[in-house]
Amino acid sequence: MREIDQMILEQDTNRMSHSTFSSAEIYSQEPPSVSTNLYVGNLHPETNEQELTQLFETYGPIHSVKIMWPRSAEERQRQRNCGFINFKTRHEAEEALKRLQDRECRGHRLVIEWGKPVHVRASRWYY
């Protein structure tokens, strides 16, 4: 991992340690073999879920997109956010990670890592 990637990852780890999840629960350096969840770091502060969906859905169907919005003035001053994209299949997630790593989005270079597996509940349809 390049030095800048490591710095961004460490800063995001520090940020995430103040949330309800620990960084170890959210993403890891080693790709969990069953995970379809991607951590996306270094997002421009105005990037939204719709933009991420449009960018990532090119590689396959997505279960969910979540941006971790800043909760404090300190987090807002960093001028970058992070988020998660949960694909329906591992193959599609691998392809997105490979193709979008280091891609620029609104002038920020995306940093993509494997997230921990997320359990997706089956949708309930009511008639």
What's the pTM?
Answer: 0.69
Specify the number of domains making up the chain. Answer: 1
Q: Is residue 72 part of a domain?
A: yes
What is the full per-residue pLDDT of the chain (127 aa) written as tens digits?
A: 455 545 555 555 454 444 434 444 444 454 557 889 999 999 999 999 999 999 999 999 999 999 999 888 888 888 889 999 999 999 999 999 999 999 999 999 999 999 988 877 665 555 4
In a domain, 120, yes or no: no
Contact in structure between 19 and 29 (CB atoms under 8 Å): no
CATH at residue 17: 3.30.70.330
User: Is residue 122 a part of any domain in this protein?
Assistant: no
Task: Confirm whether 123 is domain-assigned.
Answer: no
| Domain residue limits at 44 | 3-115
Does residue 82 fall inside a structural domain?
A: yes
